[in-house]
Chain A
Amino acid sequence: MKEFLHMGGYAMYVWPSYGLALGILLWNIILPMRRKKQQIASIKRRLSRAKNEK
């Protein structure tokens, strides 16, 4: 296992690039999810406020 991690001496290059790829790809999935929740929450708030005024 250790030998695998060593990546034939290139561990310092292979793992950061895979790690960075994972980071960027995940970030682009989490961001829309979070914004979607915020959007739905804000629409809900506005709707409920509109209902109370009626």
Chain B
Amino acid sequence: MTNSSLSKAFIAIIKRDLTLALRTRSEIANPLIFFVIIVSLFPLAVSPEPELLKTMAPGVIWVAALLSTMLSLDSIFRSDFEDGSLEQMLLSPHPMPILVLGKIIAHWLVSGLPLIFLAPLLGVLLFLPYDAMPALLATLALGTPVLSLVGAIGVALTVGLRRGGVLLSLLVLPLYIPVLIFASNAIATAAADMSIKGQLYFLAAMFALALTLAPLATAAALRISLR
């Protein structure tokens, strides 16, 4: 098995998942619409008063990002599990963590990336100061991959279950808390125009940790759920 076929398989998985996801447009759009709706609920629920919304903006945007990633997580393995292609991947000679990483990247491109483009619009909705916008984009760029990676472990654990949805959020949300803390705090500090290097380093560290360990745990969890 020459090494090149591994990278070919890796690219093939990403391409395959992207084409599959792009075919069902609504499956991509729903989490994003959900993201916008959640954020626009807060001014209605709390108060439209800019001063208050400004302080809440980082937390609200990030919690909404968390929930919308949670919503879209199910699509990583669900369709492959049902038509059996997940088993084929498990049987393939290539190491499973690499293939799983490919699927997670494809999921991030479809769910995390659009969040990053949408977030500034919602920042304006919540009167987020303009000098906090770069921090918002930076934290989302570093944070959303972690959400997909850690979320994939939860999905792999609950892929065999019929009603895994709510259980998935119970498993995965506590693991999202460190990312939420550092990201929303980074934006708040940036809004008070102080340097946010420290928070970004922490987010990058978590990204590196998730990038290396999460595929291994996901592959092991898949092997177990599909037994």
- The reply to whether A and B meet directly (CB within 8 Å) is no
**Interface residues, chain A, CB within 8 Å of chain B?**
none
**Interface residues, chain B, CB within 8 Å of chain A?**
none
